[in-house]
Chain A
């Protein structure tokens, strides 16, 4: 088990399962297919991101360096939050990028979403965390990563 401390962009408490991308997450490419199909769950459709491609993101805790790609990114995050198919939390190892920040703020201010966002968790966080790990997020930006039987 390891503890990391980040900056709270959108606070809250949650326990959940990690899904990890070691590379920047292209928001439009990742979420568009499921969103366009009006799906009940998001499976990543980004061909260029093998960490996430075809994996379930809804309800998970998405760990990533930052988001990249099209400037529709913020609107896409707002939309998946309004549809209730978003990851429960987004944990950024780097400083959050402008598109993800827009999406989180739009989701909070206009959709009353409870999505959580913590950034500046550091490279060590992203090196340590693996998909399937148990994650606990605390209100002050503390993130606890625990290995499970599957990820040990």
Chain B
């Protein structure tokens, strides 16, 4: 990799040992992928690691070292959601003990560390920092050093920013140096499609199942999806943003897709069209039958498959404002339809702190509250990743949450039936 004199000096330790180690890690990482140079990050970062899990000792040790050396990030950053919200996601004494004293024993310390190195503010904990309400919104062509797989795939695909799938820790290091190695999804060639996904379904597929099918099939390749614009239209409206967020998150968790193009819809596909498809691209045809096959393949990890669900999470990644409104209305209407006043399953709708705040002043929120459903900015994934929660029969409409926990996945219509007291 060609380095500038300043970069060479940092690497040689002229700005301290810690910064040299950080630079070496970034350069070593770039070298693995044949990066030719480091390029400047043009927009604030988003980090994936938001949780003070006690066992992540290397993380806390490194943060302490960085703080002791007086190092901060070049720009303020946002970070993934917090793992705990005792106000809206009630826990019993044992759960509180496990969360606060064992699992997330370092949460307070870690949040202090984040503040010291450049966290934007107290409300910057969400996986959807790219929504207007949160305000960490890159522009087309911006170079990013983000992690959080669902945010990376969204920024690349829906916005047209350029970002590799950076790991936790590398996100922090690049934000400190202010540069990332130039390779992969930062390059024009790396953004070309390895697959053509032919969508031949009778209706708009469930975003989480479509993304799962694509991710499981193509792993980390870039897909060019043909036929989705027939259902979603040609403009990225607020509703379309929500759909693409969920589809991308499923692609990125069930596989490791960092970028997708949608014919006639996403910015680069609109600009370059089928020129984005590599000559040797493979084809994957998705039909109703194929999606049903993928859906049926998900294992149920509950001890008792027939157990009554105890908890439901909707919003992984965090819901957009229109999605939150839609779920609130659907729950209220669903309960009316069944002559019920309260949800049949404890239900948590998760969204960013900013959207939760905006929603809390509405009449719709007042009505939702009466149903017993809660709005929280917790990370459902982190909440469910513990020995106690993993034994609970938890249901979700998120394929990402299904992938990383024992939560059972239901399609949107089915989960609405369950939480409003209907039978499947």
Contact = CB atoms under 8 A, between A and B. Distances in A.
Interface in A58-83: 65-75, 78-79, 82-83
B55 interface: yes
B256 A67 contact: yes
A109 B21 contact: yes
Interface in B161-185: 164-171, 184
11 contacts: A36-B103, A72-B147, A74-B169, A75-B58, A75-B168, A79-B56, A98-B33, A101-B32, A102-B169, A106-B167, A106-B170
B419 interface: no
B330 interface: no
Given A82-B57, A99-B256, 15 more contacts: A9-B32, A29-B403, A36-B386, A68-B256, A69-B256, A71-B167, A72-B48, A72-B168, A75-B59, A75-B167, A78-B58, A98-B29, A98-B165, A98-B166, A101-B33
Contact of B48 (A48, A68, A70, A105): A70
A140 interface: no
Interface residues of B, number: 46
B21 A103 contact: no
B32 A36 contact: no
A9 B385 CA distance: 31
Contacts of B301: 47
A73 B170 CA distance: 11
B219 A68 contact: yes
A79 B58 contact: yes
B165 A99 contact: yes
Contacts, number: 127
B362 to A, nearest CB: 33
A96 interface: yes
A119 B387 CA distance: 34
A13 interface: no
B37 interface: no
A24 B255 CA distance: 8
Contacts of A106: 25, 58, 167, 169-170
B256 A24 contact: yes
Contacts of B149: 69-71
Contacts of B252: 69
Contacts of B152: 71
B168 A35 contact: no
A123 interface: no
A140 B49 CA distance: 35
Top 9 closest A-B pairs, CB basis? A74-B167, A102-B167, A75-B168, A68-B256, A71-B147, A101-B32, A71-B149, A105-B28, A102-B170
Nearest to B253: A69
A37 B387 CA distance: 8
B282 to A, nearest CB: 15
Interface in B2-52: 21, 24-25, 28-29, 32-33, 48-49
Interface string A13-52: 0000000000010101100100111100000000110000
B244 interface: no
A68 B169 contact: no
Contacts of A75: 49, 56, 58-59, 167-169
Contact of B299 (A47, A96, A105, A108): A47
A67 B57 CA distance: 23
Contacts of A103: 167
A96 to B, nearest CB: 6
- Chain A CB count within 10 A is highest, among B33, B103, B301, for B33
B263 interface: no
Contacts of A24: 219-220, 255-256
Nearest to B168: A75
B62 interface: yes
- Chain B CB count within 10 A is highest, among A24, A35, A74, A96, for A74
Interface string B254-267: 11100000000000
Given A68-B219, A82-B58, A110 B403 contact: no
